[in-house]
Amino acid sequence: MANRRDFIKKTALGTLGISTTIGCKDLAKGEQKAPVLPADYATVKPIIISTWKHGFSANESAWNVLTNGGSVIDAVEAGVMVSEGDPNERSVGLGGLPDREGKVTLDACIMDHNSNCGSVSFLQGIKHPISVARKVMEDTPHVMLTGAGALKFALSKGFKEENLLTPESERDWKKWLEQSNYKPIINIENHDTISMLALDENNNLSGACTTSGAAWKMHGRVGDSPIIGAGLFLDNTVGAAAATGLGEAVIRTAGSAMVVEQMRMGKSPTEACKTIVERIYTIHKNHKDMDYLQVGFIALNKQGEYGGYSLRSGFDYAVCDGKQGNRMEDASFKMEWNEN
Ligand code: SD4
């Protein structure tokens, strides 16, 4: 894995007297722009944290919403939409890798500080499932819609149906078909899912999680990402957590809800993530999934403290606040890939 310090560059934030390590050159699609930060932000609120490198540009978008009068739920929605709409992100929305039948099927959920939540699973043909999830939250008596019902609902709300399978993803799927070996390796080059957590200056949390799920999954498979409590959970009196990695393992352990409960019991975000990763390891160490198992969590508490931890090496996340700007951080981890 490349050294994170290689990526870091100074930005104009220094001229505001804000200590800055912002920007990751290799993350830029075009020129990387620093978020516009008010100069007098001395605290760590607002703060945004999101999974993997695509979290970096997602954070920028969320930050712009938050610092231009948008709500924290608006911010997390806008943030993860960046990854959903990017055809070069092969694990989310448009361009996501398909299931073994060549279908791109999407899972997403969103949750606000009042514990309102909305979710869609096994949704096809809609580029921004997170926005459909938000509509489920706001415009229906339900939390979760799935498959054809979710699509029907999305169309009724004016979403446009489109082909999300890009030529690149179709090519990779055809190549995969030659061996048809299902072994979802989730690492820094081959990750899935953007999960984003944010805390605004009024102390309110929101979270969003969206993915095309594990590549080459069975048709109809739903992972942890649309499941409140598994892929995402928050309690506005405590903190928020979100997951990435093998969804089956996260569902088996109600991962994100458990991380929040660890924070409720007084653990720091990193310690809380570590405790649940250790639990997942204990449950899975003799499991058939173990040779490719990866899980990682990010967490953010009400004080604006954050952290992440993964089972195996190679998990990183993006953090954006008014003190240090936007940057990538490597999560601590339990083991290397060649250990069992
Ligand atoms: C899933 N949790 O569908 C997602 C995939 C993922 O990093 O997050 N991979 O199982």
Asked if residue 25 belongs to a domain, the reply is: no
Residue 135 DSSP one-character state: H
- Pick the residue whose CA is nearest to atom 10 on ligand 1: 247
pLDDT at residue 192, rounded to an integer: 67
- Amino acid at the residue 32: Q
Residue 176: give its domain's CATH number: 3.60.20.30
Asked if residue 91 belongs to a domain, the reply is: yes
Q: pLDDT tens for residues 271-314?
A: 999 999 999 999 999 998 898 899 999 999 999 999 999 999 99
- Pick the residue whose CA is nearest to atom 3 on ligand 1: 213
Asked if residue 24 belongs to a domain, the reply is: no
pLDDT at residue 173, rounded to an integer: 87
- Of the listed 11, 105, 193, 270, which one is catalytic? 193
In the numeric block, which tokens belong to residue 192? 């899935």
Distances (CA, A) of 225 to 69, 120, 211, 233: 28, 9, 7, 10
Asked if residue 314 belongs to a domain, the reply is: yes
Helix residue spans in 38-184 (DSSP H): 54-66, 72-85, 129-139, 147-156, 167-179
Asked if residue 64 belongs to a domain, the reply is: yes
d(CA 196, CA 207): 6
Is there a contact between 48 and 340 (Cβ–Cβ < 8 Å)? no
pLDDT at residue 6, rounded to an integer: 33
Residues of the chain with pLDDT under 50: 1-42
Q: Strand 306-312 vs strand 316-321: parallel, antiparallel, or unpaired? A: unpaired
d(CA 312, CA 331): 10
What is the atom index within ligand 1 of the atom nearest the CA of 246? 10
d(CA 149, CA 155): 10
Q: Which residues contact 287 (CB under 8 A, 6 or more apart)?
A: 293
pLDDT at residue 157, rounded to an integer: 98
Q: Which residues contact 326 (CB under 8 A, 6 or more apart)?
A: 22, 23, 34, 35, 56, 59, 60, 63, 318, 319, 320
Choosing from 211, 292, 295, 310 the residue with most ligand 1 atoms within 8 A of its CB, the one to mutate for a pocket test is 211
pLDDT at residue 167, rounded to an integer: 87
Report how far ligand 1's centroid is from the alpha carbon of 184 (Å): 9
- CA within 13 Å, CB half, 37: 32
Asked if residue 9 belongs to a domain, the reply is: no
**Residue span of the structural domain in which 231 resides:** 44-335
Number of structural domains found in the chain? 1
pLDDT at residue 92, rounded to an integer: 73
Asked if residue 205 belongs to a domain, the reply is: yes
Q: Which residues contact 169 (CB under 8 A, 6 or more apart)?
A: 90, 95, 96, 97, 98, 104
Asked if residue 248 belongs to a domain, the reply is: yes
What is the atom index within ligand 1 of the atom nearest the CA of 221? 3
DSSP-based three-state secondary structure for 108 = strand
In the numeric block, which tokens belong to residue 127? 């580029």
Residue 228 DSSP one-character state: B
pLDDT at residue 166, rounded to an integer: 85
pLDDT at residue 242, rounded to an integer: 98
Burial of residue 185 (CB within 10 Å: 0-12, 13-18, 19+) is middle
Distances (CA, A) of 80 to 70, 85, 170, 289, 322: 15, 9, 23, 28, 20
